[in-house]
Structures are given as C-alpha cells and as structure tokens.
Structure 1
Amino acid sequence: MYMAYSNTNTTHAPHRSASTSKGMTFNSSYTKAIVRFILLAVILGTVFSFGAMVQAYAGDGAANATTPVSVKPINITPKAVVQDQVVIQRGDTLWDIASTHKKSGENVRSYMYKLKTINHLTTSSLKEGQVLLLP
C-alpha cells in the first residue's frame, strides 16, 4: 500500500471567499453607482415637475405663441393744464374777484371757498402782485 505525506499544516480550515457566503453582497463601486443613479433620478424628477407646475400656472404657452398680437405704439403727450390766473391789483378783494369770475347762478361765498382752497389761503387778505389761480 502506498501513502502520501505532505508538509502542509492541516490544522487550519480552508478560507471561504465572500462569493460563497449566504445571500448577495455588493461591491462598493456598484453601491455607489446605484446611489448616484437614484440621486440623479430624484433631482431630474424634481426639476421636471417644477417646470410642469410653472407651465400649468402660466397658461398654455403654445396658444400664446401662435396667436398674432399687434402692438401699436401709444403716443402719450402730457397735457398742460392751463388755469386762469388773476394778478391782484391795489384795492382788489377776494369778494370782488369771486363775484367777477364765478359762473352764473353760483354762490359768491362757495366760489370764495374754492379760491381759498386752490390757492392755499387761510385768510381773505390779499397783497398787490399776488397771483391767484381761478377754479
């Protein structure tokens, strides 16, 4: 009978590799790739849903783009308001000015009140050379 001897130490159990363990284990590079993919999908989904919400609230962009709109420039010129003025002469009174320039049928006292209001007068006294705006 023939027996073979070896110099190896047989007291240690053979090594088990990770691929022979129970369940599935992933390499760390695969795990990083999956996390990056999920993160990218979440970001893109957020961006596209935000764009859809903006378009929904802004209205239909296609309808606005195809509708012809004519734009005409508007010439707005400021209109100068010309008010009648009276330059106060020596001896003029507010009563005289009101009775001279009031409309027919209008009360002299109400016209005097308008004169005071427009010209920011607190009293009925006038000075020579003073300019009053007429209502």
Structure 2
Amino acid sequence: MLKLRRINSKKKINKIRILLATILLTTFWLGITGPIEGQALGNSTQHIKVVVKKGDTLWNIAEKYGPAEQDIRKTIYEIKIMNKVEDLLQPGDVLIIPQTE
C-alpha cells in the first residue's frame, strides 16, 4: 500500500511539472512573438529602420523620419519605447521609427 501511494504521488508531481513547463513555455513564446507597440492597439502603423549617424539626435531623427501629422514629442516617446533607449545615441545604432499610413 505504501508503494502504491509513492507511485501515485510521483505521478502527481510529474503532472504538475509538465503543467508548469507548459505554462512557462507558452508564456515565453507569447513574449517573443507578441505584437510590436502600436499594433496591439490596431493602429495601421508601419516601421522603418534608421541607422544613427554622428551628430544625430532623437529630435532630428523624429523630425526627419516620423509621421508629419504627429506631434514630434509623441514620436520621440514612441521611438524611445520601441527601441528601449534614452537620450544618448551612438553612431551605428539602428532605430525603429513608426510611420503612419
């Protein structure tokens, strides 16, 4: 009887492990394949990639490549969020810039 309890206990533990592994893998997969900022809200936004050159600032990049109809401060904010950057840019950095259709 004691062996039977141990076997049932091991089966339950294995089922719990499989369930936890499935939850973790699903969460990881959703994190990788999740939508880009803006697309989650259903906005029709395209993105372009811009390579930072010496002397570039977020302001002049947003002004040059950002949507003309949008407040430049909002564009800068979106660039910061999408690229996980602050104010300091290095030549050679690649930024994703939102483009409204």
**TM-score w.r.t. structure 1 length?**
0.37
Tell which has more relative contact order, 1 or 2 (C-alpha 8 A, sep 6+).
Answer: 2
Higher strand share: 2
Higher helix share: 2
**TM-score w.r.t. structure 2 length?**
0.49
Q: Which has the larger radius of gyration?
A: 1
